[in-house]
Chains A and B, each alone.
Chain A
Amino acid sequence: MRILQLGPRCNNACIFCANALDRTAPAVATREWMERLAALVPTEELGVMGGEPTLREDLFDIVRHAKRLGVGRIVLRTNARRFTYVSYAQQLASAGVSGLDVGLYGSSPAMHDYHTDVPGSFLQTLRGIKHATAVGMNVITTCVVTRSNYRHLVDIARLAGSLGAQGVRFRAPEVIGRAAATRSRIVAPPELAMVHLRRVRAQAQRSGLDVSIDRALTVAVDGSSGVQAVDMDRTAKAWPARQEQRSRERRSGDELRDILPSLFDSSEDES
């Protein structure tokens, strides 16, 4: 599949977005996408992506132009929110879009909307997937696996299947853009995510759902932790605490009233 990039503009604000820092870049002008497209053909399959490609009002022109140039199959990488309008789905299908690759990052509104940072996006995306499949498009979903959703991968795959998706792709976040700033918050530990990915595979075998898993999800990202990173010889000396008072002096008896007055006061009140 060859990819046509239409610029970073998007109506989601995903926490792991690799394009987030380029959002101010201008939209790709008509002449530019025509030149890019000309350089990609001939191709049997064309992926069209942004940002969010459905925000472009000239998307129909792009799709029709690609078909005129002989592209066989056109797949949009999209959040599918605009497909919440069934008429939009019908028009794009008629123009020649044959499939969608939809970002689905959670099995519940709270989980998905946290990842997109747009309240309500989950319900719009779900409706969009339903409408796309209803007008005959092939849909697969892509889930970027994070610390906040890795425990629910089976549920996410099951949900995608129930909406008519033919396949589910699980992808590791690219640690660039927004994800780079909060890497620890986003990147799931492969050792823990692996269990859930195995369950997804097992479930997919039973249900017939096509599942693909990025290799990066099954490999430990880095090993910079713990004892390996510490030279114990160089840290042999321990420093005293700031408030530490080390001496052979022992303070007890009445002096304890200085630090534990409540212990003595309450008892004296009773007597």
Chain B
Amino acid sequence: MANLGYLQLVRHCNQYCRICSNPETPWVLDLDAAIRALDDFAQRGYAGVILTGGEPSLSEIVEPVVMHATQRGLSVRMITNGSRLADKSLAQRWIEAGLRHFHVSLYSSRREVHDHITCVKGSFDLARHAIRNLGEGGAVLNLNTVINRFNCDHLHELAQLVVDEMPWVSHVVINNLDPSMGRAETNRQALHRLVDMEVSLHKALGILTAGARTFRVERVPLCFMVDYAHCSTETRKIIKAEERIIHFLDEKGTVRQTSFRHHKAAVCAHCSLDPICAGLFEMGHGFDETELAPVFVDPAAIIRRVLRQ
């Protein structure tokens, strides 16, 4: 088991993503609270901590947090939009301080689509500069993206961009849109149908596999990723009985997530993957249960593959 804790350092941001699931609040984590959280993760035997936000690179305590986490034996990574790390000197300073693992968010291979999603012109170029700076600086580099209506038909182009032009990116995290909270709730144009992403997602995962990149897909029910079911974040956690703790800087506060099951449709009872599928996140709130269809593949092969990795 490799449990990871999530620490939101700040909740403000220098982008204004229309798909953001953690929009701005006034709270800012200070070093005292951060150290309490890190000590707690260490005591629980967690493998590491993910610094997130808002935009965590806007926090003033990044370096002491990294130092303390490292001292407690926790691996540290940051999920960032990359805007500040487009500055090579800052990227280098943080890598030298021990922050050597980054997830940079990139929502499309197309500059205009990415900038439209973030509502910040130039954000695409900044993210790509950050990827280059961090990659050339020797950091472990992952790419995060969120499936939404603006990019759901060309996810495979993003995968191709990673394989062709981002040799430093070893792993890609693909999250389906969270339609129920944050800005996606008020910006409904961002909401897609699952069938609209299916073909492009399948192509994307094929391209990443052929390009020797690993990936995880979150909030996508297994009937939409049967060939890659072993790469579903929730399925892996269900099979491995993993958990995660997230310290939100909002009313949700501290959440210890031990169940990774969402909603199911009645037809899911027919599905051979039902026991290892999380179902559909926020079914009925934005996604339609009539899109779910049972499949009849062998779950044992998927379970074996997850446990082997």
Q: Is A227 in the interface zone, CB < 8 Å from B?
A: yes
Nearest-neighbour CB distance to chain B for A263, whole angstroms, equals: 5
Residues of chain A within 8 A of B27, CB atoms compared? 250-252, 255-256, 259
Nearest-neighbour CB distance to chain B for A251, whole angstroms, equals: 4
Nearest-neighbour CB distance to chain A for B30, whole angstroms, equals: 5
Task: Tell me the bound Cα distance from A246 to B151 in angstroms.
Answer: 27
Residues of chain A within 8 A of B291, CB atoms compared? 184-185
Q: Is B153 in the interface zone, CB < 8 Å from A?
A: yes
> Is the pair A260, B247 in contact by a Cβ cutoff of 8 Å?
yes
Interface residues of A in 192-225 (CB under 8 A from B): 192, 225
Nearest-neighbour CB distance to chain B for A84, whole angstroms, equals: 23
- Interface size, B (range): 35 or more
Q: Is B186 in the interface zone, CB < 8 Å from A?
A: yes
> Is the pair A240, B23 in contact by a Cβ cutoff of 8 Å?
yes
Closest chain B residue, CB of each to CB of A184: B291
Interface residues of B in 259-309 (CB under 8 A from A): 267, 270, 272, 288, 290-297
> Is the pair A266, B40 in contact by a Cβ cutoff of 8 Å?
yes
Partner of B185, one of A108, A152, A230, A242: A242
A-B contact pairs, 9 of them (CB 8 A): A110-B270, A184-B291, A186-B293, A189-B198, A235-B187, A246-B24, A252-B30, A266-B40, A267-B39
Closest A-B pairs by Cβ, 8 of them: A226-B153, A225-B196, A238-B18, A147-B293, A239-B186, A111-B296, A241-B23, A244-B23
Given A147-B223, A226-B154, A244-B23, 20 more contacts at CB 8 Å? A148-B296, A151-B226, A184-B291, A189-B195, A226-B149, A230-B189, A232-B150, A238-B16, A238-B187, A239-B183, A241-B23, A242-B185, A245-B25, A245-B26, A252-B27, A252-B33, A256-B29, A259-B27, A263-B33, A264-B33
Q: Which residues of B contact A (CB under 8 A)?
A: 12, 16-18, 20, 23-30, 32-33, 36-37, 39-40, 112-113, 116, 119, 149-154, 181-183, 185-187, 189, 192-200, 202, 223, 226, 247-251, 253-254, 267, 270, 272, 288, 290-297
